[in-house]
Copies of this chain bind each other. A is one copy, B any other.
């Protein structure tokens, strides 16, 4: 009883509160630590070419479900989510290190399948697999990947740097990966209830692919560079548009206005959301796992950004006092809430 009242639960803090709690008193000692905790990747090194390092851990039963996630796709996805963090700094990923821990239910063939996916991602994104670790696990599979990249010092884009009237942009479309996951979960339930039923996944290729085999937006980074646009801030969308807007606003000490009508959502996402009685915009805001790039640019770059097909302007930067608002289709304004994806709830 006494213990229960004293014990502080991590779910009260959430992932970001926890990281803040644990790291707020840290002090960096090295000149080579240009930027530490608090962005998509750490920025290291003393030369003009900086090293970017980011790491992510994927845990079975938390981040993926092997009853519908093919192992090869999982290996591919594990690499992609890490590379996405390097691109989100406007960097170029060059190497990865892969650590796997797995229980004895995994055969050599299963591990080879995961590695086949890792290898495919390495080939496609032109990164080298340079190290890692291999261990047994008490239960299930854990994949931890560290991505290493480079960027010219003056081309690195942080979460900090947005100023009033900058334009808020996003690549691709949002909410599809989340709807893919809902569909897979539903068909799993149907199958568990009646194993004779075949999963009904026809016509949902796009949202399934977005969930099972997402891509990182290397092409967008290249297009921005070609168009000579240097974003003022950037982040990748892993936890949902709303949550990432909060991160940019907090780091840049600004507000943002997001326009529902401008927010890109694929028709398949819309129709599947409706079949689940979900609001597509809510899926876009809070679904996550999109691995699209959310960034702000100076207004002077508006003409240039219009020429990049895969990018939409979805809002603009306001003052901190104006807060984070969403302007709905009917021109109503609401305060934006960041629910994101809660690991610890």
Contact = CB atoms under 8 A, between A and B. Distances in A.
A2 B34 CA distance: 56
B150 A32 contact: yes
B7 A107 contact: yes
A119 B37 CA distance: 14
Contact of A108 (B10, B45, B51, B97): B10
Copies in the complex: 2
Interface in A117-134: 119, 122, 126-134
A138 B9 contact: no
B134 A18 contact: yes
A44 to B, nearest CB: 6
Given A126-B29, A146-B146, A99 B7 contact: no
- Interface size, A (range): 35 or more
Interface string A3-21: 0000111110101001101
B53 A148 contact: yes
A95 B129 contact: no
A48 to B, nearest CB: 10
Contacts of A107: 7-10
Contact of A146 (B62, B97, B128): B97
A32 B127 CA distance: 11
A53 B142 contact: no
B108 A343 contact: no
A111 interface: yes
B95 A33 contact: yes
A7 B108 CA distance: 7
Contacts of A10: 104, 106-108, 111
A129 B26 contact: yes
B99 A56 contact: yes
Given A7-B109, A22-B112, A135 B33 contact: no
Contacts of A26: 119, 122, 128-129
A15 B102 CA distance: 12
A45 B128 CA distance: 13
Contact of A55 (B63, B112, B131, B142): B131
Contacts of A49: 46-47
B344 A136 contact: yes
25 contacts: A7-B108, A22-B111, A26-B119, A26-B122, A32-B94, A33-B95, A35-B130, A36-B131, A37-B130, A41-B131, A44-B95, A45-B51, A53-B53, A55-B99, A55-B132, A55-B144, A56-B99, A56-B133, A57-B99, A59-B135, A99-B144, A101-B142, A134-B343, A135-B343, A136-B343
Going nearest first, the 3 A-B pairs with the smallest beta carbon separation are A36-B130, A42-B130, A144-B144
